[in-house]
Amino acid sequence: MVELHCPHCEEIISLDDDAMGEFVCPYCDGEFEWGLDSDEEVDDALSYSDSQSGGIGHWIMTTLQAALAGSLFITGIVLVSLSIAGFGLSSSAWEVVASEPSGDSASNIGVPIVMLAILVGFLISGTAGLLGLIALLTGLSQVLFGFRKN
């Protein structure tokens, strides 16, 4: 079977390998010739086979897909690593603030503010870790499964 684009509506038409003569497009009812020495039909067949076999457009899209998948994977690793570091720093700071003996009233006023800042650090670390995990899994799935359809 030969697949070509209709010269009128650009829909894909399938013809037998040895088909020759005038044909009517089943989509637009436009008439065209195939199998005769016409440059237009040969150009249509070449442009279709080029797009299906991996022309420059296919190469560009595959490269962009690989770059996006790789950048998501790396971004995920970085965010998860920063999240782990943020949890560690927040935990250390929490232990230091919690182990301070209660002294004068001036230091007691600052403790809740510092603890609130540490809590915000925990929340930011958790959010970064969750987003990093999502990016990591998305990038990994694109690397492993995203190219099978191409």
Question: Which amino acid is present at 70?
Answer: G
Q: Is the pLDDT of residue 48 over 70?
A: no
The two tokens of residue 116 are: 């609130």
Q: Which region holds residue 83: left if phi is over 0, alpha if psi is between -120 and 50, else beta?
A: alpha
- Give, rounded to a whole angstrom, the gap between the first and last alpha carbons of the chain: 21
Q: Is the pLDDT of residue 54 over 70?
A: no
Q: Is the pLDDT of residue 46 over 50?
A: no
C-alpha to C-alpha distance for 132 and 79, rounded to whole angstroms: 5
Give 146's pLDDT tier (boundaries 50, 70, 90). Answer: low
The pairing of beta strand 21-24 with beta strand 31-34: antiparallel
Alpha-carbon distance values, 70 to 53, 73, 86, 140 (Å): 24, 5, 24, 8
Q: What value does the mean pLDDT take over residues 104-115?
A: 70
Q: How much is the mean pLDDT over the chain?
A: 78
Taking only the tens place, the pLDDT of each residue in 72-101 is 888 888 999 999 998 898 888 888 877 776
**So where are the chain's domains?**
2-53, 57-145
C-alpha to C-alpha distance for 117 and 136, rounded to whole angstroms: 28
Taking only the tens place, the pLDDT of each residue in 14-30 is 888 788 888 888 888 88
Q: What value does the mean pLDDT take over residues 125-136?
A: 90
CB hemisphere CA count around 129 (13 angstroms)? 13
Q: Is the pLDDT of residue 148 over 70?
A: no
